[in-house]
Amino acid sequence: MGNIFQITCDGALFNRCLDCFLGKAAYIKNLKQNLADLETELGKLIDAKEDVMRRVNTAERHPMMKRLNKVQGWLSRVEAAKSDGDKLITCGSQEIKKLCLGGYCSKNCKSSYEFGKQVARKLGDVKTLMAEEAFEAVAEEVPQPAVDERPTEPTVVGLQSQFEQVCNCLEEESARIVGLYGMGGVGKTTLLTHIHNKFIQSPTNFNYVIWVVASKDLRLENIQETIGEQIGLLNDTWKNKRIEQKAQDIFRILKEKKFLLLLDDLWQRVDLTKVGVPLPGPQNNASKVVFTTRSEEVCGLMGAHTRFKVACLSNIDAWELFRQNVGEETMNSHPDILQLAQTAARECGGLPLALITIGRAMACKKTPEEWSYAIEVLRTSSSQFPGLGNEVYPLLKFSYDSLPSDTIRSCHLYCSLYPEDYCISKEKLIDCWIGERLLTERDRTGEQKEGYHILGILLHACLLEEGGGGEVKMHDVIRDMALWIACDIEKEKENFFVYAGVGLVRAPDVRGWEKARRLSLMQNQIRNLSEIPTCPHLLTLFLNENNLRKIHNDFFQFMPSLKVLNLSHCELTKLPVGISELVSLQHLDLSESDIEELPGELKALVNLKCLDLEYTGNLITIPRQLISNLSRLQVLRMFGASHKAIKEASENSILFGGGELIVEELLGLKHLEVISLTLRNSHGLQSFLRSWKLRRCTRALLLQCFNDSTLLEVSALAYLKQLNRLQIANSVILEELKMDYAEEVQQFAFRSLNMVEICNCIKLKDLTFLVFAPNLKSIKVGICHAMEEIASEGKFAEVPEVMANLNPFEKLQNLEVAGARNLKSIYWKPLPFPHLKAMSFLHCKKLKKLPLDSNSAKERKIVISGERNWREQLQWEDEATRNAFLRCFRDV
């Protein structure tokens, strides 16, 4: 018998297996019908989705409505179901072809089973989505976000680093009120906007980020309403409350929160407590206030803990911004345009607003001729350039209009007489203001103080910039704006004619000068003034810095109102006799000219108050009784004058001798208040020092060619209370500058002295007296071969108590030493030098150690210049000092 194989099976197990088989078979059997149903149901679902989307779009037309998350989720799932369903329907015809036995079986059972299963499940998903479609509401009103993103231009490349600095500052606890100041159009608002929008990405930093535009017409109610709106207080009832009540409501909310208040365009102080804003501090959750202003003074009034000057862009960043706004298509349209575009960009002075405005205006200019013409317009009549006269200048003029008085506005416009990028001496500028009678104080000292006060206002308003070394500069675009105002022919009061620094070889036609009140031809190449102009209203005439050699004798005949005449830096050797016609003249500047003599006709200038003859090295003759006849003279500057007169002056000139004759002339001037003087021997110095009046007036003193003694008693100079500049030069036998080191001398010595220069004094041993000049800023030493020390410790051996009260060189900013081949020491121990900016040593091989340690010049922003081999043999206080200062060196 054969083997018998028997299987026994549980009934339940059999049923489960049968169901499983039949279920799988159903996926194949029902495939065709399921595909048809899927297509039908999917169509219904898409129709339903479109109905829902119409409801969503209608709701979201309201700015405060937003679709519900469950609705958005449903819409996303419908999209996914449609995509998957469409793919299955597309592939369905291929799978149906595989069916056989009347659709109950398949030529590829596994493939048809898997596909049928997908279709059945997707059909179920579609039906489920249809069942979920009955939304009562598709959107809801959402609360206003704590931070609304503000539209802004992309961050300018050059502002990115400042943006990062401010953001880093906001992380510091100590910086609670931050001021951003700078001139109009420099990008302060753009910077503040990017700071504001930063907190869209990091809203958890502050509970409230509040933006307020303060503007020029500041009203506390407006600020309160803007803040109230952003913190949820604003409604009709709240609007009707008093300022004090609104302040209480704002304070109640903000004192418990961490907030960032951004105030744009402040022109004056805002009393935050009156607004209701808690003053930022550790006690109120480290909140912050950041504001922008055009005035550095406002930073002080607002109590800013940190202030940032938003400066104009560097040349590289300015060019990149300009290039972006012009566009590559225009840049590449002609080979010559790149260089012309760089010239045009420089005319903007790094001011972003001007770079953007001019760049966009030039974006369609694709020929060199168009660019050349545009540059000419920018240089000669920039207000006619598209966008400048109606967009840029009016914005900048807000700063001008906000100046406190007409006097200050006139002083600001006066600065536009100087060329672009010109460093203007503060002292000479104030002299011109005084000469034109722009200032209101009664005496010269008061006027000078008022002048420096006005300069401070203009600097703080960012309408002028510090130029360094007692100078200021006017930004090119600010200057163009000032000329736009001052050259307006409808304003007879100003009416400037300015051709400064434009390369003229001859003067403009004098027939156009008749209406001018201020005329500047300075810094050109004009050689000859042969025509005779008629200028009845002319107050100021700048002819300086020309190659001027000849002026027609009658050139000044028809200038009856002229008050300020500048002929400095000219090649004139003599003045025209017709200068005597200038009976109204109050200020005459001949400094650094080639003038050889002052004519007797100057006696006719009875109103002259300021005569500047500094550095007139060729001046030989000043007739006797000329200076003393200028009875109203208040200022006489002769520092560095008449170098030739040492050998060539005749006895008829007051320049003869060592200075005794000059002193004699000066003693006759009753109104003299300011003098700078050159003296040439001990007799002249003694004659000068005997006059209390002259000692009181002296601001600068040059002791030149003191070769009648080996010793000079500098203690006698200690009591010149106004002396700020001292030079000792060409005194080849001078060995000692003797100083009385008594304590009573120390209390009064050299309080105003800030600049000292010692040159070509080859036997001089030291300059120890300088430790008694507490406000000294600059020391220059040149060709002093015998000098071994700047300050000698040995001179204090008998009076050590004097040194205990001194803080030598505390204000020193600049030290230059050249040709001191025996110099071994600056000072015998390290000094703090808190203000030091630069030190320079040339041909000082024996100087082995500098007076520095690791605590000196702590900011390490100084530059130390010298030969490399000298630097390499320097000895240091310790390794920490060496490491601290090595990076400050520059090889010469």
SS (H, E, C) 398-464: HHHHCCCCHHHHHHHHHHHHCCCCCCEEHHHHHHHHHHCCCCCCCCHHHHHHHHHHHHHHHHHCCCC
Residue 202: pLDDT over 70: no
Per the CB < 8 A criterion, the answer to whether 833 and 826 are in contact is no
Query: Between these two residues, 151 and 456, which has the higher pLDDT value?
Result: 456
The rounded distance, in Å, linking the Cα atoms of 812 and 833 is 7
Q: Could you say which DSSP state residue 389 is in?
A: I
Residues 6+ apart with CB under 8 A from 501: 419, 420, 422, 522, 523, 524
What pLDDT score does 748 carry? 65
What tokens appear for 518 in the block? 């201020």
Q: Phi and psi dihedrals of 879, rounded to 5?
A: -65, -35
What pLDDT score does 508 carry? 93
The rounded distance, in Å, linking the Cα atoms of 416 and 486 is 9
- Full-model pTM: 0.77
Query: Between these two residues, 234 and 803, which has the higher pLDDT value?
Result: 234
Q: Tell me the pLDDT band of 2, cut-offs 50, 70 and 90.
A: very low
Residue 493: pLDDT over 60: no
Residue 16: pLDDT over 50: no
Per the CB < 8 A criterion, the answer to whether 679 and 685 are in contact is yes
Per the CB < 8 A criterion, the answer to whether 799 and 835 are in contact is no
The rounded distance, in Å, linking the Cα atoms of 118 and 84 is 10
What tokens appear for 221 in the block? 């109610």
Q: How far is CA 26 from CA 171, 249, 644, in A?
A: 68, 72, 123
Among all chains, which residue has been given the structure tokens 């510090």? 466
The rounded distance, in Å, linking the Cα atoms of 166 and 178 is 8
Residues 6+ apart with CB under 8 A from 255: 278, 284
What tokens appear for 354 in the block? 């001007």
Q: Could you say which DSSP state residue 230 is in?
A: H
Query: Between these two residues, 32 and 418, which has the higher pLDDT value?
Result: 418
Query: Between these two residues, 298 and 650, which has the higher pLDDT value?
Result: 298
Write the pLDDT tens digit of every residue in 442-462: 888 899 999 999 999 999 998
What pLDDT score does 619 carry? 94
Residue 17: pLDDT over 60: no
What tokens appear for 793 in the block? 């410790």
What tokens appear for 799 in the block? 């009076």
What pLDDT score does 378 carry? 86
Residue 803: pLDDT over 80: no
What pLDDT score does 143 carry? 59
What pLDDT score does 823 carry? 95
Q: Tell me the pLDDT band of 745, cut-offs 50, 70 and 90.
A: low
Among all chains, which residue has been given the structure tokens 């000072």? 827
Residue 798: pLDDT over 70: no
Per the CB < 8 A criterion, the answer to whether 582 and 606 are in contact is no
The rounded distance, in Å, linking the Cα atoms of 174 and 517 is 52
Q: How many helices (H) and strands (E) does the chain have?
A: 30, 32
Name the least confident of 582-591, 712-721, 741-750: 741-750
What pLDDT score does 24 carry? 61
Residue 646: pLDDT over 90: no
Residues 6+ apart with CB under 8 A from 138: 52, 55, 56, 59, 67, 68, 71
| Mean pLDDT of the 816-820 span | 95
Name the least confident of 59-68, 175-184, 654-663: 59-68
| Mean pLDDT of the 86-97 span | 69
Query: Between these two residues, 522 and 18, which has the higher pLDDT value?
Result: 522
The rounded distance, in Å, linking the Cα atoms of 596 and 641 is 11
| Mean pLDDT of the 361-390 span | 86
What pLDDT score does 155 carry? 64
What pLDDT score does 609 carry? 96
Average pLDDT, the chain: 86
Residue 779: pLDDT over 50: yes
Return the bridge partners of 541, or none: 519, 565
Write the pLDDT tens digit of every residue in 696-710: 999 999 999 888 889
What pLDDT score does 711 carry? 92
Please count the other Cβ atoms lying within 10 Å of the Cβ belonging to residue 849. 14
Residues 6+ apart with CB under 8 A from 40: none
Write the pLDDT tens digit of every residue in 395-426: 888 889 889 999 999 999 999 999 988 999 99
Residues 6+ apart with CB under 8 A from 762: 732, 783, 784, 785, 786
Chain CA centroid to CA 7, Å: 99
Name the least confident of 87-91, 153-157, 829-833: 153-157
The helix or strand, by DSSP H or E, that contains position 609, with its residue range, turns out to be: none
Name the least confident of 322-336, 520-534, 734-748: 734-748
Return the bridge partners of 528, or none: 550
Per the CB < 8 A criterion, the answer to whether 524 and 504 are in contact is yes
Residue 484: pLDDT over 50: yes
Residue 123: pLDDT over 90: no
| Mean pLDDT of the 342-361 span | 89
DSSP output for 346-388: HTTTT-HHHHHHHHHHTTT--SHHHHHHHHHHHHH-GGGSTTI
The rounded distance, in Å, linking the Cα atoms of 489 and 499 is 16
Residue 492: pLDDT over 60: no
Q: Could you say which DSSP state residue 283 is in?
A: G
Q: Tell me the pLDDT band of 5, cut-offs 50, 70 and 90.
A: very low
What pLDDT score does 159 carry? 78
Residue 768: pLDDT over 60: yes
The rounded distance, in Å, linking the Cα atoms of 775 and 446 is 22
Q: How far is CA 550 from CA 508, 511, 595, 596, in A?
A: 16, 20, 11, 14
Query: Between these two residues, 754 and 52, which has the higher pLDDT value?
Result: 754
The rounded distance, in Å, linking the Cα atoms of 352 and 358 is 10
The rounded distance, in Å, linking the Cα atoms of 510 and 521 is 12
Return the bridge partners of 778, or none: 755, 814
The rounded distance, in Å, linking the Cα atoms of 225 and 239 is 7
Write the pLDDT tens digit of every residue in 547-560: 999 999 999 999 99
Q: Tell me the pLDDT band of 148, cut-offs 50, 70 and 90.
A: low
Residue 167: pLDDT over 90: no
- Which is nearest to 482 in space by CA: 544, 421, 410? 410
- Which is nearest to 495 in space by CA: 480, 515, 477, 481? 515
Q: Tell me the pLDDT band of 213, cut-offs 50, 70 and 90.
A: confident
Per the CB < 8 A criterion, the answer to whether 35 and 119 are in contact is yes
| Mean pLDDT of the 619-631 span | 93
What pLDDT score does 494 carry? 64
| Mean pLDDT of the 134-150 span | 69
Residue 891: pLDDT over 90: no
The rounded distance, in Å, linking the Cα atoms of 166 and 151 is 20
Q: Could you say which DSSP state residue 466 is in?
A: E
Distance in Å from the first CA to the final CA of the chain: 120
Hey, is 697 helix, strand or coil? helix
